[in-house]
A and B are shown apart, each in its own frame.
Chain A
Amino acid sequence: MANPLLKEHVLLRHRDIEDIHKIDVYLAHDGYRALEKGLKEMTPDDVTNVVKASGLRGRGGAGFPTGVKWGFIPKNLNPKYVVVNADESEPGTFKDREIMESNPHQFIEGVILCAYAVGAETCYIYGRGEFWTLFHGRMQEAIDEAYEKGFLGKNIFDTDFSCDMYLHLGAGAYICGEETALLNSLEGLMGQPRSRPPFPAVAGLYAKPTVVNNVETLANVTPIVLHGADWYRQFGTEKSPGTKICSLSGRVNRPGNYEVPLGTPIRYLIEELGGGIIDGKAVKAILPAGASSSNMGADKIDTPMDYESMAAAGGMLGSASFIILDETINAVWAAEKNVKFFKHESCGKCSPCREGTFWLTSVYRKLREGYGTKQDVELIETIINQMEGNCFCLLGEFVVPGVRTSLELFRNEYESLASEENEVDQPQKDLIHTFF
């Protein structure tokens, strides 16, 4: 599967090299050389600095500079933990899974380097419950192989550095992708977010300093340490360097993961890599970051895929899971699907998210089933206004942009579903009767 924009894949190296998931094949292709270099030739601060210099930004969605995050970890508090967020549960995102399935050692090497950089000796990889076969199969095998070869365990490369790695499966909750809820879940508590401060960097897992990174982020660390920051900066833009795996889905001919340098226009992803829209229809909207993203109109199709340009265009790069809607899709139906998803996944901790998603779902259902009114359309708008900024964590906040932009772009579709007649037909409810 050649990719005209990249001579060789940086992350999806299994597409270039067969069987790289096997440790012998991986070792034959520079495997664990970055770790050797890091441990033998660099201090932990050097590793952090090279990651800082590379400009790598978190690939989980927020896009926070990774090296800066590592720098927040206090030096004098021990033990420290590295927790990898592999709870890839944003609808439309399936990049981490491919990395762990097919190129696991590059990821594991990145995790060990991260542990070395921040001074942690224990790493937990928290995967979504559906990764059962993966975590009991190839990921565990890869970790076992790494232990056998001495890349994990005591005194790696005969240095003072020791590191252990554990896999942990969640029980199927979207909220556990939120880092503090993930830490709660990992501790055996209910998967609900914690209030911040304190931030995980200071008091995370078991109230110890903890760095939480996404799978793809750490898979990037390995080539950065091996080849250096300048090499990495040849990809992407000034502020968003590197490559990014885009998960493409929706009404395209060839959905799937595509690794592209940051800054590649969306049009290239859809038309060249994704083979265009099914039946040659027109793009109606682009959801660039799964269910939690805004709808970008078809006019934004030439936006370069980097953090800044996407934000400027009213969207966000997020985890780069592009869901493409074409003209055959009803906007209300699509928005309702997302709202229902959030209602199902709301943890129930804070009122605006728990009640707001529940309320939105019932208003959407009413509209779609054809007995909504114009007031219901306005109600949707006020509900999201009442949620925005008031929720405990980002899950509730993520409901807002999708619904808001859907309303902005396709209000006519909402209003065509709402009927004037329904207003007249609404029977007056006998409230007193309903109490008993």
Chain B
Amino acid sequence: MSDNVTLTIDGVQVTVPKGTLIVEAAKQIENEIPVFCYHGKMDPVGMCRMCLVEVGQPAIDRGTGKPELDEDGNPVVRFFPKPMTACTTTVSEGMVVKVDTSEAAVDDRKAVLEFLLTSHPLDCPVCDKGGECPLQDLTIRHGPGNSRFDYEDKQHFPKRYPLGDLIVLDMERCIICARCVRFQQEIAFDPVLAIENRGRRAHIVSYSKPGFDSHYSGNTTDVCPVGALTTRDFRFGARAWEMTNVPSLCNHCGVGCNTVLGTRAGTIRRIMPRQNEAVNELWICDKGRFGHHFNGSPDRLTTPLIRKGEELVEATWDEALSLIGEKFGAIKSANGADSLGGIAGARLTNEDLYVFQKLFREIIGTNNIDHRVGLSAALEDETAFTVGVGVGTDLGSVGKGTTILNIGADLDQDAPILYLRVAGASVKRGAHVINAGGRRTKLDAQVQTTLRYNYGSAARLALGLLASVVSQGLVAKEWADSRTSGMADLEKALKNFGADKVAEATGLTTNAIDAAAKAFAEAENGIIIFGLEAGNDPALRAALEALALATGHAGKPNNGVIAVLPHANSRGAIDMGILPDRLPGYKPVESNAGLSAVEMLTAGGVKGLLIAAADPAVESESYKQALQQLDFLVVQELFLTETAQMADVVLPAKGNAERDGSYTNLERRVQTFDMGVPAPGKAWADWLIFTGIAGQLGADWAYASADGVMAEITQRVPLYAGMDFKNLTAPISLQRKTEHYIYEGMSFTTDIREGIQWATVAESDSAPKIPLRFIEPAKASSQEQGLTLVAPRMLYDGGRLLAEADVVNAHILEPQLMLSRSDAQKLGVSTGDSVTVSQNGTAITVPVYIERTVSEGVALLPRNLAGRPAEKLVGPNGLYSTVKVEKS
């Protein structure tokens, strides 16, 4: 039997795979069956009854078991007595569906619309959804022209009910399709919405504390087919048809979600997801949706500033650039090129970063460049070059047969959309997810295996898993022999990491380690994800790389390693060689490696520094002192940050909505974004500023645009050979069509720019054998008495860009020490009391919060919060340390 079935819809034949729903089959022949509750990403429920169609099946003669034929020899079709919902009925061979050709079905749909409109307020003229509203559009297409319902009898509900502080509910507009409730349950795994009461009094409620407590709440406003759910920052912001929609990318984390900027009169009115099944499907997180307000902030830098004594005074670009050229030139001739250095943040684009490193390496002549400050310093990754996930990896499609090993990443906080995809792979599609971490995270509830290891033992766990793979005989021999070298040495080194030793170090059982190793090694596809909380540990990365290689989970789609790097273009910063010891394309610097960011930020490190898109002054007091001792400091920024206030020259840069460029996401996918709004004042794109500085130092670069820079990257960086703006910026139409938003919700689903991934070493059959690396993990920290202070990253942190979004202010954490109940009891403190946390003479005072997800012996103090208290204790690049906590 073939796996396809052929059916007839309104007289048109269509062949689709078995199990397809009628509504999806009809979509293929552009027969739009109207729907409200149906959504392609959620399980069908058939509750709105909008998609009623007449369905018939060929009659089978009971005696012969053959189809009955009429006089002309055509099969007899028997129609079901009742109309069927096209969104819940699967197709079958020979089925006949009548959508528009059946008068009864047309009447039924008209009836359903009249019912839905009986208690709808019909306030389209003031409704945010007006113009892109499925209810409005479908009423015009299928509905009755007038209502016989007596207006006086309408059921009334509150018109402005805040479900949480981001989402406002207008219950009168709601048609109870439950898409929002189902999104939260099935896709976000945050079941914080529900329908309460029954019949006409049914309404949407959220009983979580705080209300609608989810990082994905904004998506419910997209899937809502009416104007019932609106976001607080777009309510009454603009009419849909008045906005210009521009394809963009989110710049808040490394996932690289595709977005659309809804702009009007030079300002961003809203941000919505843009479909890219390989990256973010149809979703974005609330940080991405609400965190765009920095673009239009009145505090933005609009003109270059030059220090005159204590003051920073406005200057022209000519003045600023020639001053930089003069000072840098003088420092270079007096003290040599290596007395200059540059730090560039990882939210700059590939084009910016490429020009940045070219400026330092080719024009100034030093390798003193780095991107590793702040969060970027807390997690490094070089494994992507060899064993990064294969080209074509799609976490949105992996399921049964795939094992995902997540070590030390709290995905819901670090990379929210990745969380949706990993949790979905586990819950919806049956992938085996092993969540290893030092504390309970949200992903634990959605996975099959949880490994809770002691902080600091992640590298040992990884080596233990590898040793267990070897001892259980699960090495993918053929692949490992032909593609890797050094297996014998590795096996020898692993002798010290037998299950019992690792069990002792990690606090896990030997059975748990063996079972996890087996599950990973035996899976058809294996993906390793690691993050901040595993520690910035070369031994861990070597072990994970070897684990992927030894099990053969490398070099093909849906296999390999993903590092959850913190910034939008952290991957690109490494690719572009913003490292003192590595050139673009992971080529090591031969002899004269430069200074790292930490070294440059040490007193006496360099004399002149260019800092772009980074704010080291807030990270640490010692950085600040080092910056004060510089001869000359140039800062290139969006805002007058603490570092910028110390600068000799401040240069205003464009935000990502104000320019074009490309980012490389944590799966090595290069994607581009377009310019949406004009920049404030005289701000320039960062690559242009670097080009200007280079010009002052004697270069004659002729970059006219970001794609000009990318054209050079494709020639000079082999990894990026396949990428240029031409194939990255496929023409994209953001025209809003009804057929898109009735099925998928409000996300833009017309055209998709998928982006391009660069291939890893493991994917190239001609590449030399990859050496299996082994690095001895550092000795376990000394047996200091006290709690382990861990500084994880939170989604809503104290970052400068997010601070501009008033709407999420309430979500930004105040510094607080999260303790387990038992530790709090031992200290005699409860939530709200303040404690003194000290380590090596540094002490801070913070309030306590008793948090049930924290295990005993661990205290959490998120990093990147106001005043950077956590960084004071664990160091600006650290993640955890042993501290003493006392009641104060």
Contacts and interface: CB of A to CB of B under 8 A. Distances in A.
Contact of B176 (A195, A348, A358): A348
Interface in B127-155: 148-153, 155
A248 to B, nearest CB: 30
Given A351-B175, A352-B111, A359-B115, A346 B81 contact: no
Contacts of A350: 46-49
A429 B116 contact: no
A389 B108 contact: yes
B726 interface: no
Contacts of B198: 173, 175, 191, 345-348
A362 B47 contact: no
B115 A355 contact: yes
Nearest to A358: B200
B82 interface: yes
B202 A354 contact: yes
Nearest to A375: B148
B653 to A, nearest CB: 46
B195 A348 contact: yes
B45 A195 contact: yes
Nearest to B109: A390
A343 B199 contact: yes
| Interface size of A as a range | 35 or more
B330 to A, nearest CB: 69
Contacts of B658: none
Interface string A75-106: 00000000000000000000000000000000
B830 interface: no
Given A351-B116, A358-B118, A390 B81 contact: no
B112 interface: yes
A356 B83 CA distance: 17
Nearest to A343: B199
Contacts of B197: 348
A392 B47 contact: yes
A422 interface: no
A201 to B, nearest CB: 18
A390 B176 contact: no
Query: Interface of chain A, helix or strand or loop or mixed?
Result: helix
A348 to B, nearest CB: 4
Contact of B46 (A173, A195, A385): A195
B149 A359 contact: yes
A379 B148 contact: yes
Contacts of B175: 351
A43 interface: no
B108 A390 contact: yes
B52 interface: yes
Contacts of B114: 386
A390 B199 contact: no
B776 interface: no
Nearest to A392: B47
Contacts of A347: 198-199, 202
- Among A355, A359, A375, find the residue whose CB has the most chain B CB atoms closer than 10 A: A355
Given A350-B49, A390-B112, A358 B148 contact: no
B147 to A, nearest CB: 10
A40 interface: no
B148 A392 contact: no
A145 to B, nearest CB: 37
A359 B50 CA distance: 18
A435 B199 contact: no
A340 B49 CA distance: 22
A386 B194 CA distance: 28
A173 B198 CA distance: 10
B882 interface: no
A395 to B, nearest CB: 10
A434 interface: yes
B86 to A, nearest CB: 13
A343 B48 contact: no
A392 B51 CA distance: 12
Contacts of A175: 198
A359 B155 CA distance: 10
B483 to A, nearest CB: 44
A355 B118 contact: yes
B119 interface: yes
A370 B85 CA distance: 39
B46 A391 contact: no
A349 interface: yes
A424 interface: no
Contacts of A357: 199-200
B123 interface: yes
B647 to A, nearest CB: 54
B119 A355 contact: yes
A312 interface: no
Nearest to B50: A351
B88 interface: yes
A178 to B, nearest CB: 13
Contacts of B46: 195, 350, 392
Interface string B36-60: 0000000011111110100000000
Contacts of A362: 150, 153
A195 B150 CA distance: 32
Interface in A421-436: 429, 431, 434-435
Contacts of B44: 195
Contacts of A375: 148
Given A389-B82, A431-B151, A355 B200 contact: yes
Contacts of B194: 190
A395 B197 CA distance: 17
Interface in B577-599: none
A434 B152 CA distance: 9
Contacts of A374: none
A154 interface: no
Given A173-B198, A190-B195, A351 B49 contact: yes
Contacts of B111: 352, 385-387, 390
A344 B201 CA distance: 9
Interface string A263-284: 0000000000000000000000
B38 to A, nearest CB: 12
A347 B202 CA distance: 8
A19 B112 CA distance: 54
B847 to A, nearest CB: 38
Interface string B324-361: 00000000000000000000000000000000000000
A355 B83 contact: no
A390 B49 contact: yes
B49 A352 contact: yes
Nearest to A190: B195
Interface string A304-323: 00000000000000000000
Nearest to B194: A190
Contact of A392 (B49, B121, B151, B200): B49
A128 B577 CA distance: 70
Interface in B54-87: 81-83, 85
A190 B205 CA distance: 14
A385 B126 CA distance: 34
B53 to A, nearest CB: 12
Contacts of A429: 151-152
Sort A-B residue pairs by CB-CB distance and give the 3 closest, nearest first: A386-B111, A348-B202, A355-B115
Given A348-B201, A349-B176, A351-B176, 16 more contacts: A190-B195, A195-B85, A348-B176, A348-B200, A350-B48, A354-B202, A355-B115, A355-B118, A359-B115, A359-B149, A366-B150, A386-B107, A389-B108, A390-B108, A391-B49, A429-B152
19 contacts: A195-B44, A343-B200, A345-B198, A345-B199, A348-B176, A348-B201, A351-B47, A351-B50, A351-B116, A351-B175, A354-B115, A358-B118, A359-B153, A386-B107, A389-B81, A389-B82, A390-B82, A390-B83, A429-B151
Interface of A: 173, 175, 190-191, 195, 343-352, 354-359, 362, 366, 375, 379, 382, 385-387, 389-392, 429, 431, 434-435
Interface of B: 44-50, 52, 81-83, 85, 88, 107-108, 111-112, 114-116, 118-119, 121, 123, 125-126, 148-153, 155, 175-176, 194-195, 197-202
